[in-house]
Amino acid sequence: MGSKVCKFGGSSLAQASQFVKVAEIVKADAQRRYIVPSAPGKRSPDDQKITDLLYLCHEHARQGVAFDQLFELISQRYLDIASELGLTLDLQSELDEIKQGIRDTAPSGPDYAASRGEYLNGLIMAAYLGYTFVDAADVVSFDTQGRLDMPDSRALMQQRLAPLEQAVVPGFYGRAVDGTIKTFSRGGSDITGAVVSAGIDAEVYENWTDVSGLLMADPRVIDKPRSIDTITYQELRELAYMGATVLHDEAIFPVREAGIPVNIRNTNEPSHPGTRIVAKPPPGDRPGPITGVAGRKDFTVIAIYKAMMNNQIGFGRRVLSVFEANGISYEHTPSGIDTMSIVVADSAIEGKLDHVLHEIGLECKPDSIETYPDMALVATVGRGMTHTVGVAAKLFAALAKAEVNIRMIDQGSSELNIIVGVQADEFENAMRAAYQAFIT
């Protein structure tokens, strides 16, 4: 029987009633054999995430300040969950050990403290489901550089996890080369889910969260956008880069390499099929013209003009070498016959703009350089636009109708997306026009 790895996020495990939902989901499908829990998240908007509290405990311990009351808050949440689920688990001795551990590890960093949120949730989840608890420190390993060691983790999982019928592996952490606990970056339980999926050759990686998959646009801009049923990794990368977030960036690689699809699901709406993220479109795939629209503000455009630029060999290289020498990564370089523009994120060029303009002047002797701050980029993404006539026309007609002035256009020859640059104050308007051009 093939197996599914199910990662449940913090909001899916914030309190006992959520554990009940999770258990129903897990028991509804015998293939759901490997469970990766996060730490309990917020129960309401003004609640605290357990991981944040653990980082705070560490900070107190590091400074030699008492953290008993803080730790009490954490303990009480776990004790409440366990008692409401009717579990007879000896959590108190675990909690005492952890409190001492936070003190002992304080000089060496916060990772041990932060990881305990997932560890405790893993113990509770395993007891509640009747699954075997496998400590992530025994199956997820990091190399000497502190990076995930996938070959070693895979070998450990094949040895420790694969023979088990069912298991719970806490998310977010593993073991460093020196035997200490090390965490991934924040939100890293997504990565553990992906690593376990690749390590045991799962059929699918189910990532259970509090939304029914990826939406075709940001709901803060578009009213009730549709959800995406299938998206390729490449499309996801384009949309994620532009600000659409659902999975931790680093979670993509282990499953992508292993060709394992990811299914984003909603713990609070389990009947919804969610979004499938796949390496290749499924056979018979009939995508709509677009998969999604996403965008970001805070870009600056540097426009360089020089007569006969097209005849000057090496002009573009000299311009870009200024960016390289100053350690600035740029986003796009749309160009005309005698013009070249560099689109760069404000965060990348902050504090360096004047210097860069000066150096471009010295290196390239342009006739003029102008900068346009407050630019926004809107990406219309979709594998369905490849070899489809009229997608760009439709998009531009919609933007014209909405009276959005397009300042820049960029379409890669992969035809996976069309990016337009607009003035920041036209951003929302442009996003709406792009979405409504294709989705009615």
> How near is the Cβ of 190 to ligand ASP at its closest, in Å?
6
Residue with smaller CB distance to ligand ASP, 122 or 261: 122
Residue with smaller CB distance to ligand ASP, 52 or 410: 52
Sheet containing strand 204-209, strands side by side? 132-133, 167-168, 32-37, 4-8, 204-209, 262-266, 275-278, 230-232
> How near is the Cβ of 326 to ligand ASP at its closest, in Å?
33
> Which residues does residue 206 pair with via DSSP β-bridges, in sequence order?
6, 263
Q: Quick one: residue 187, left, alpha or beta (phi over 0 = left, psi -120 to 50 = alpha)?
A: left
> How near is the Cβ of 121 to ligand ASP at its closest, in Å?
9
Indicate the pairing of strand 32-37 with strand 167-168: parallel
Report the amino acid identity of residue 230: T
Distance CA 240, CA 234 (A): 10
Residue with smaller CB distance to ligand ASP, 214 or 377: 214
Residue with smaller CB distance to ligand ASP, 198 or 360: 198
Distance CA 314, CA 395 (A): 34
Residue 346's nearest CA partner among 377, 368, 315 is 377
Residue with smaller CB distance to ligand ASP, 59 or 428: 59
Residue matched to tokens 């629209």: 293
Residues 6+ apart with CB under 8 A from 319: 304, 340, 342, 360, 363, 364
- The residue nearest ligand ASP at its CB is 189
> How near is the Cβ of 184 to ligand ASP at its closest, in Å?
7
Do residues 334 and 410 make contact, with C-beta atoms less than 8 angstroms apart?
yes
Residues in the chain: 440
> How near is the Cβ of 13 to ligand ASP at its closest, in Å?
9
Mapped onto helix, strand or coil, the DSSP state of residue 20 is helix
Residue 363's nearest CA partner among 322, 325, 326, 308 is 322
Residue with smaller CB distance to ligand ASP, 113 or 378: 113
Report the amino acid identity of residue 371: T
Residue with smaller CB distance to ligand ASP, 175 or 407: 175
> How near is the Cβ of 246 to ligand ASP at its closest, in Å?
13
The angle subtended at Cα 131 by Cα 112 and Cα 271, nearest 5°, is 100
> How near is the Cβ of 328 to ligand ASP at its closest, in Å?
29
> Which residues does residue 182 pair with via DSSP β-bridges, in sequence order?
174
Residue with smaller CB distance to ligand ASP, 9 or 295: 9
**What is the binding site for ligand ASP (CB under 6 A)?**
10, 38-39, 49, 51, 117, 171-172, 186-190
> How near is the Cβ of 314 to ligand ASP at its closest, in Å?
46
Residue with smaller CB distance to ligand ASP, 52 or 415: 52
CA distances in angstroms from 218 to 96, 148, 429, 431, listed in the order given: 44, 32, 13, 9
> How near is the Cβ of 60 to ligand ASP at its closest, in Å?
18
Residue with smaller CB distance to ligand ASP, 137 or 216: 137
Distance CA 396, CA 28 (A): 47
Residue with smaller CB distance to ligand ASP, 172 or 396: 172
Mapped onto helix, strand or coil, the DSSP state of residue 38 is coil
> How near is the Cβ of 208 to ligand ASP at its closest, in Å?
12
Distance CA 290, CA 262 (A): 20
Other beta carbons less than 10 A from residue 296's beta carbon? 17
Do residues 203 and 3 make contact, with C-beta atoms less than 8 angstroms apart?
yes
> How near is the Cβ of 392 to ligand ASP at its closest, in Å?
39
